[in-house]
Structures are given as C-alpha cells and as structure tokens.
Chain A
C-alpha cells in the first residue's frame, strides 16, 4: 500500500527530513484535516503558544487532492488556533494542493523559526529553503508575481508578517482565511511555499476511479444547486435568502434583517458587477465571482464578506464591499474576523466604550482602516487581535460575536438555532462549517425545518459535522457535498406542500438520525446521492470505504480536534455563545428568538458519546480507534 509521503522541515536549523506516515495511521486518519489533527496532537508540545518557534503547522492534502475528482484542489493547514488557543484547520483551493502532490509530497510539517524570511521550495521530491528577504513586505499580488510562474504557491501578505491574529494564507486568489494560519507562517518567517512537480497523483483503481469521476461530475452538473445556482450566483446568493429568514446578521448581530440587503445581494452582484464566473482546478461547480476593482478583474466576494461588509455594519454599498474584499485578500486577512472586529468596534463607539474612528453605516474610510489593521498601525493594532481580545480590553463580551475566540460566520443563530449549537460546539470556534452548517436545513436552503425548535438540532449538527469533516479529510471542497439535498425539492420549490412537509418532518428526525449515527458501521453502501466522496476515496486509496466508514472518519476527526482543545485547556464551558444570542430575543416579545443552547448542549454531548462536561468517553475513543497521544 502506498502511504502518504510527508516531509518535516525544522526552519530554525534548516533541517529537512522525510516524515514517514505508517500504514496504520493512513488507514485510520486518511489525510487532510483528520490526519492533520492527529499529527498536531502528536507533534505540538502541550501549552505551546501558537506563534512560538516550537509550534507546528501541518500543510497537507487528502487522497483525492489533485486526482481529477470534482472539486479536489483543496489542501489543509492544521495548527494551533491563534484566536482561540485550541485547534485550527483551514483550507482552500487554488493550485498549491495539487502541485504539492505533483511535487511528490502529500504533506509538509513546519516547525521552528527561520532566522530570516524564507520561501520553502518543494520541487520533484526535493525541499529547499530559499532566501525571501526581498519578498518580505510585499502584498499578495506582488509576491505572487515575484514567484516562479508555473509553481503552485501558498503565501502570506503584510498581515501575516505583522502577526494579525486572523491573517490567512493565499493560494492563487483563494484564501485559507480562518484561525490565523497566515500569522503562524509569518511567525516562522515563512513568506511562501512553492511546489512544482511532474508526478501525477496515483490512484489505486484507475479505471474504476475514472469512470466513477465521470459519473460524479455529471451528477454535480445536473443538480440544481451545484449545476445552476452556485455557478450563477456563488455563495453570494445567500444574502437575500438569509435576510428573508431573518438570519442575516445586521448591526453586529443585533438584528437579523436588513431593509437594504438586496443592494449587496448575489442577485444584484450578478446583475451589476459580475464579469464572469470561474473556478478552481478540476471543479465543475465554478462558484467563484469575477468582478472589477480599481479597474482590474479580481476575485469577488463570498456571502460571508458581503454580509459582514454590508448589513452587519449597516452598509449597502456594493462597490465598497468589493473593494474591502479585495483589500483583505491583497493584505492577507480573513474577511469574517476582520469585518466582525470592525463591527464590534462600531458598537463600542456607539455605546461610548471606545473610539476607533469607525461607525455603523459609514464605509468611506474603511479601506484605510483595513490597511492600518494589516500594518498594526497605532490603535488599529488592537483591531488586529479579534473580538475576544478586544472585549477583554474594552468590555462588551455579551456583544463580541465569537465563540471560543473565533468570530462567527454570517448566520444569525437566533433564527437558525442549530447553527447556534454548531457555533458553540465547533472545535475551531465560531465556524459555520466546522459547526455542521445546519442553516442549510433551517434558514437558507430549499428545505426549511422549524428554525426555532431545538428538536433534532443536536443530532443533525453531529451528523453534518461528521460528514463535513470527512469530506475535508478526503481533500474535497465542501460545496461538492451540497448535492445531498435531493434535486426534486429544488424542482418543487420551497413553497410546495411536499417540500414544506419534509422540512417539518426533519424536526422529528432526531431519533432516527441518532440511531443511524450509532449504527453507522452498518451503512455498508455507497451512493452518489448522499456522500459520493466515500466511493471515490475507496477507489483512490484502495481502502474499504463506504458511507458508514466515511462518517466514522469524520467522527474520528472531530473527536481528535476535541482532544486537542481539551489538552490545551479549553473545556465544555467554552462551548458557549455571547449573551446577545442566548439571553436577548431577536424579536422583542418573542422569547423563542434566542438560541436555547442550555437545552441543546447536553443532548449534543449525549449524541456524541461525551460526558456531561463535554469530554469524549474512553469507550467512544476506543470505538473510533483513537490512541492516546
């Protein structure tokens, strides 16, 4: 069996050595974020600061990365979360992941701190450290142009160099934005990693794999979500949907509905600003928006960015939102944490608690503010630390919209309470994806279950968290999983009686979903309709893989991440939300418009097989085959 090839680089001493991954580890942890979490637990010394030289960052791929399977240009970065002190995984598309595999490696582990800025070059099985002093200080466009053209590139901008706690790393124009991976690379004096090679990633059963991939691509193209809606509107199309469900964060999550939301919606973007759509290598979905900013065509914003540089700061200026999105990419920052920190500063100003010169509804000076944050200039250095840090200094913890320290995504959970549970339990903090993305069933999808009820939310959150973990670990984009809602519901529409009844019935799905989770070993089938990734993974690796094993892989990954958090001092008490969401109803006089976290959390722990304190039980870990570190 071909096990993944990893290389470990000690940046302090410039040592490079192969890092063998045992067959047992490969069989159990596969790759991507699951294997990343395992290696992080093994290699990262307990209690190490995320930005210390001893900290470890694992940049790896999944077995499907670069194989030609749909939406598989992804690579993953696992590291200690700069904002939460717990686990972090961050991934994106672009060319770097596929090129890393072509260069002969499935993963690279960085530790130590280079004495001066370096570029890590991975070329046809050889790894070298190159002098990058002349690249230091460059923005992400400049550095990309300065690096060799045909290489896959992963690089940071000024924000990463200046240790902005939510700095990301870019691959092409895609950004692994969340959790501060760019700051970790910056702390290690790594400006870029570049990869080039001619070795095509091998798959175990090439003919069957190729036939299945063709079938899978056809399925993706024929599904209304991945074949029509995402190519046409991208994720930006969610602005009006979330607004229609009153789940669009507005005025720093004070409200969930913005009267002028349409001005920054995906539909308006498509009608007024879109030059074309585009996509990552091997992706048939092509969700990327291309727009013009400063007269040049650049990557357009995702839903999160439009929501946060729009309604969440009371703004309806679409060109300005595009500009801010571009600047955040140019300087190398996560737009969610950046914009949420700005919204928090606006509320501090509104309440007279601090003045950073920003206020709700005023966007003209925000480009300058964004640049100052990236440079950590003056008081703006505080904004570079995120909302948790800010609230500890200036107060306002009840409206600092983060969980565990990571800013929440653009779904107002008081009208999507399953998302509230997801934010609270997500291992990396307030993340909609690590949180299971339950709003797809509650507030922004075609099926709409009761968004206020806690019923079935624990079970669905666990199921979806596990599924998304597995998809990421395989090396796939999560959008490829959006086909799991049957196409028939899109053809009927959300207002059809059958769709509405199905949505209602989902609230009763708790017990069967829990049974399915408990008996997932019995799900020994593969189907393109639910998680086609499982079959592709089996054909690519030669491992026995079916829907049940695939879900178990996701569960293993989620528990490993949890173990890392517990080891680093986070506890069940950190599975929390700001008071604004759990104590203040979104609609005055409607007490059901809060997140009933206290009701959902104990049930969630039980479904997970964790103790009442949120600690995975020994029996659960044995069943998942997780060894103590």
Chain B
C-alpha cells in the first residue's frame, strides 16, 4: 500500500490531504490523480515537486520511479527564497 500526500492547493483540489492505494510507479499515482480528482487536480499535480519518501523523483527515475509497499509519495509546491 502506498500513501499519497497532497500539499498546498492540490489538497483543496483533491478534497483530501492523504489517501492510500496500490501503485507501482510515480507515474501511476499521477494518473490516479486525474482519474480520481479530475483534470484541474492533475494539472496542478504535474507541476509540483514529487517525492518518494522525501526524495525528489528527479534524483530517482522521474515518473518511472518504482514504488514499494509502505512508501509515501508527496506532491509539494515549488517554493523559493534564500
């Protein structure tokens, strides 16, 4: 079971902060967002920073990053500062 966490505006678009499901890749989670929560949520989700257990999928295999039981996928807003 994978835990999916939505942060920022995405949580409002999805109507929930977390949910669980069986996914095998990060890309599958994104597809789930579209199917379960609609196109607006999907558009927001795909431009966010996506992490698996806190590590950016950009350091892994991007949307093809494999998921294992018990892992958490988070959608985080892009931020700035310094």
Contact = CB atoms under 8 A, between A and B. Distances in A.
A245 B82 contact: no
A479 interface: yes
Contacts of A234: 81
B78 A495 contact: no
B59 A267 contact: no
A465 to B, nearest CB: 13
Contacts of B47: 490-496
A219 B49 CA distance: 24
Contacts of A226: 80
B81 to A, nearest CB: 3
B56 A245 contact: yes
A560 to B, nearest CB: 23
B50 interface: yes
A257 B81 contact: no
B56 to A, nearest CB: 4
A232 B8 CA distance: 9
A388 to B, nearest CB: 23
A246 interface: yes
A233 interface: yes
Contact of B77 (A237, A261, A479): A237
A224 B48 CA distance: 12
A450 to B, nearest CB: 11
B7 A244 contact: no
A323 B35 CA distance: 43
Given A246-B55, A495-B46, A479 B81 contact: yes
B12 to A, nearest CB: 12
Contacts of A232: 8, 77
Interface in A216-252: 224-226, 229-230, 232-238, 240-241, 243-246
Contacts of A453: none
B55 A244 contact: yes
Interface string B57-82: 11100110000000000101111111
Given A493-B48, A495-B50, A495-B57, A238 B80 contact: yes
Contacts of A287: 81
Contacts of B49: 240-241, 244, 494
Given A493-B48, A495-B63, A496-B46, A240 B76 contact: yes
A314 B62 CA distance: 29
A437 B55 CA distance: 22
A241 B59 CA distance: 12
Contact of A233 (B46, B55, B77): B77
B79 A266 contact: yes
Nearest to B8: A267
B62 A241 contact: no
A445 B82 CA distance: 11
Contacts of B55: 244, 246, 257
Nearest to B58: A448
Interface string A143-163: 000000000000000000000
Nearest to A266: B79
Interface in A528-573: none
Contacts of B76: 240-241, 244, 267
A302 interface: yes
A233 B51 contact: no
Nearest to B55: A244
B69 to A, nearest CB: 18
Interface string A70-112: 0000000000000000000000000000000000000000000
A269 B49 CA distance: 18
Contacts of A10: none
Nearest to A497: B62
B79 A243 contact: no
A225 B63 CA distance: 24
Interface string B27-65: 000000000000000000011111100111111001100
B70 to A, nearest CB: 13
A57 to B, nearest CB: 25
A170 B65 CA distance: 47
Interface in A436-467: 437, 440, 444-446, 448
A495 B49 CA distance: 7
A262 interface: yes
Nearest to B56: A244
Contacts of B82: 235, 303, 432-433, 437, 440, 478-479, 482
Scoring A224, A233, A496 by chain B CB atoms within 10 A of each residue's CB, the highest score goes to A233
A433 B82 CA distance: 7
A259 interface: yes
B34 to A, nearest CB: 14
A500 interface: yes
Nearest to A494: B49
26 contacts: A225-B78, A225-B80, A230-B81, A232-B8, A232-B77, A233-B8, A234-B81, A235-B82, A236-B81, A237-B77, A237-B79, A240-B74, A241-B49, A257-B54, A259-B54, A267-B76, A303-B82, A433-B82, A448-B56, A479-B80, A482-B82, A494-B58, A494-B78, A495-B47, A495-B57, A495-B63
Top 7 nearest A-B pairs (CB, nearest first) are: A235-B81, A237-B79, A493-B47, A244-B56, A225-B80, A244-B51, A267-B7
Interface of A: 224-226, 229-230, 232-238, 240-241, 243-246, 257, 259, 261-262, 266-267, 287, 302-303, 432-433, 437, 440, 444-446, 448, 478-479, 482, 490-496, 500
Given A229-B78, A230-B81, A241-B49, 11 more contacts: A229-B77, A229-B80, A232-B77, A237-B81, A244-B49, A246-B55, A448-B56, A479-B82, A495-B46, A495-B50, A500-B58
